[in-house]
Structure 1
Amino acid sequence: MQKNTHNKLNAYIKRVGEQNDIDDATQKFNVSPNGAQKIIAAIRESNWFLKRINVISVKNQKGESIGLSATGMIASRTDTTGAGKRTPKDYSSLGAMPYMCEQTNFDTAVRYAKLDNWAHMKNFNTLLSKAHREQIDANKITIGWYGETAETTTDPATNPNGEDVNIGWYQAMRTHNSDRLITEGVEGSGVIKIGEGGDFINLDMAVLETKNLLHPACENDSNLIAIIGGDLLAYDKAKFYEAHGNTPSEKSKIEELQVIGTYGGLPAVKVPGFPPTGIMVTSYDNLSIYIQEDSVRRSVGKKNDEKDQIENFESMNMAYVIEELGKVAAVEFKNVKLLIKGAWV
């Protein structure tokens, strides 16, 4: 590490210490409440999807979903001239979900050579504080879809999508909302066939049937979306191309992506990290990441000369929460088969 780099790194470490009222930021410390809020704000800003869902701090490590939106018909009339009384109702719960904030670690390293390249830049502190941040937050989303367990020691070789890091939204469906999770088709063999002659003739019908599993109070919510995996969208687009690719007006619609605008009457979205054969119908504000207050811990800029790198350690207690179980339905992505060249694969 060059002398100028060393000086800038020490200034950065000192700055982090001042922000958190500690003497040495290279030693593990509890992030201040203000610092934790800044981290949560940075998480939300790092990815468009994280901006749309809820990323909030909660006091208790264990509890039930807060219920951040109201669903159903609130408007009413009551004749109060006689014995009738207006009766307020709580429309914020169609099924609360229990949660447990599990410690999740995000530990990264930056090579000395990279620091030397950054040292002459005026935004050195910004570069260092944001190093790996986007990828860390992208990992949070992926775990939200694929996470199944929270193991004491994780194994990325056998669980490349963080299946063993934390319990995500899909696993919450399996555990707490199985009646709204389609796991098999009419054959009852644990397979869901999408395509001509299958359980759903096309993607549009698959989304529509998924939507029909929602609580009746949610079926007509204007903020519902269909989150659809990339392989399903590509499959449907290919089928459309096959049928209409030689028609100029239809071909232009394909190229303008208009053909994936809606499915089952809902706006379709492609979300980062979402399983390629998955379908989930819900609203953005029905998905949450809870971060327990006072659980964010860090150490930054710790030198490891044996590896020629500095090491940053960060952890927080997190939970992936569905706010209203009645407002989400999904297709089990593990079981989906598509009709390709006459075979179900």
Structure 2
Amino acid sequence: MSVVLQPQARQLFNSYKADVARANGVESTRETFAVLPVPTQKIIQAYQQQADFLKLINMFPVDNAKGEKIALSIGTTIAGNTNTNVQQRQPTPVGDLDLLDEYDCTQTNYDVAMKWILLNAWRHHPDFKKKLQEMVVRAVALDKLCMGWNGLFRAATSDRVANPLLQDVKKGWLQKIRDNAPEQHYEGIDVGGGTLKTQIGAGQEFKTVDGLVEYAIEEYIAEQHRESGLVAICGRGILSDKYLPLLNTIQDPTEQLAARTIYANKQLGTLPAMYVPKFPAKTILLTTPDNLSIYMQNGTFNRSIVDEPQWDRAVDYQSVNEDFVVEDYTKAVLIENIELV
């Protein structure tokens, strides 16, 4: 049965498209246009409002599709002495000099279909345009996190059914560590048949997850970064394994209050524990959030909003050339295959 976009919904939707066109200096959204720098910055800020973790990382605009990483960090110590009677002083460069790990911004599509039946249902809302914009922005923001944590490779044509966590859309932060810095990747020990596990419990190398985290800091994080605001990013199951025995106990009111206080200030080892949506289970990433970046190439944020009556819908076609970047691998360690024994 064909659905018709109701006159009130049509008027509101046309107004929404006119606002987008006006902000970008184009006559219509029907033809693909490049989003201007100021609206682009506003959209990035909107992403950050919809996904708190995006506020903590870098979202850098870059001019070139490929190039050296740009975060203002120094990946080593810088103090030293030089006998200038014999040789010249050697300044320490800012940034990562690993030219084998240049960023490479490739196109990602964020196309959102809006069924007319949905727009009709929303036409009575006084904040119709705001609701529509937030729906699109939130979907994009959460997908960026999903790719950052779960992306394995970039397929020419992705398959959302086979890869529901967007594993084939873009190579994310964790895969960058696996591929480019295997020395910063702890997968556990062989427990038989080539299966690697990081086992925690009595009789294991690590008695607690706290001990595992402290070991990883000392063994994998460069010394100059160990006091630089590291956090333990993890999936929900890691925190449940640690804190469930504390919370799943009959206690008097004073003990209950103490347990809730401990849980509210969740830690893994000496680091604050941070649960982030879409992060893989049985995994911990130790780093600083500002060590993670999304680079977006200037001039490549393209958009069009068109009616598709053959599908009873409108579509907001968006694309941008982007890449997920770990700025300094010595400030990160990825721990996987964690299992409570």
Into which bin does the TM-score normalised by the smaller protein fall? 0.7 to 0.9
Could you tell me how far 1:249 is from its partner in structure 2?
4.8
| Structure 1 residue aligned with 2:227 | 220
Separation of aligned partners in 1, 2:190 and 2:259: 32
Separation of aligned partners in 2, 1:195 and 1:251: 25
Separation of aligned partners in 2, 1:256 and 1:106: 40
Is 1:143 equivalent to 2:147 in the alignment?
A: yes
Partner deviation per Cα, 1:197-221 (whole Å, 9 max, x = no partner) = 3342111011112212011221222
- 1:178-257 to structure 2, matched below 5 A, reads 178-185=182-189, 187=191, 189-212=195-218, 213-221=220-228, 223-241=229-247, 246=251, 249-257=254-262
Partner deviation per Cα, 1:270-298 (whole Å, 9 max, x = no partner) = 11211121101100110011111111111
Could you tell me how far 1:261 is from its partner in structure 2?
2.5
| Structure 2 residue aligned with 1:90 | 93
User: Normalised by the size of structure 1, how large is the TM-score?
Assistant: 0.86
- 1:272-291 to structure 2, matched below 5 A, reads 272-291=277-296
* SS in structure 1 at match of 2:225: coil
Letter in 1 for 2:282: T
Separation of aligned partners in 2, 1:140 and 1:21: 27
Question: Which range is displaced more, 164-173 or 121-130?
Answer: 121-130
Could you tell me how far 1:48 is from its partner in structure 2?
1.0
* SS in structure 1 at match of 2:311: coil
Tell whether the 8 Å contact from 1:30 to 1:295 is kept in structure 2 after alignment: yes
| Structure 2 residue aligned with 1:46 | 50
Structure 1 runs (4+) greater than 6 angstroms displaced: 75-80, 82-87
| Structure 2 residue aligned with 1:343 | none
User: Normalised by the size of structure 2, how large is the TM-score?
Assistant: 0.87
Separation of aligned partners in 1, 2:8 and 2:247: 58
Gaps of 5+ in 2: none
Q: Sequence identity of aligned pairs in percent?
A: 30
Aligned length: 333
Is 1:313 equivalent to 2:317 in the alignment?
A: yes
RMSD: 2.7
Tell whether the 8 Å contact from 2:75 to 2:330 is kept in structure 1 after alignment: no
* SS in structure 2 at match of 1:217: helix
* SS in structure 2 at match of 1:306: helix
Separation of aligned partners in 1, 2:282 and 2:181: 19
- 1:1-345 to structure 2, matched below 5 A, reads 1-70=5-74, 88-90=91-93, 92-93=95-96, 97-185=101-189, 187=191, 189-212=195-218, 213-221=220-228, 223-241=229-247, 246=251, 249-258=254-263, 261-300=266-305, 302-332=306-336, 335-339=337-341
Letter in 2 for 1:16: V
Could you tell me how far 1:83 is from its partner in structure 2?
9.2
Separation of aligned partners in 2, 1:168 and 1:315: 17
How has the CA–CA distance of structure 1 residues 117 and 137 changed in structure 2, closer, same or farther, with 3 Å as cutoff? same
How has the CA–CA distance of structure 1 residues 267 and 294 changed in structure 2, closer, same or farther, with 3 Å as cutoff? same
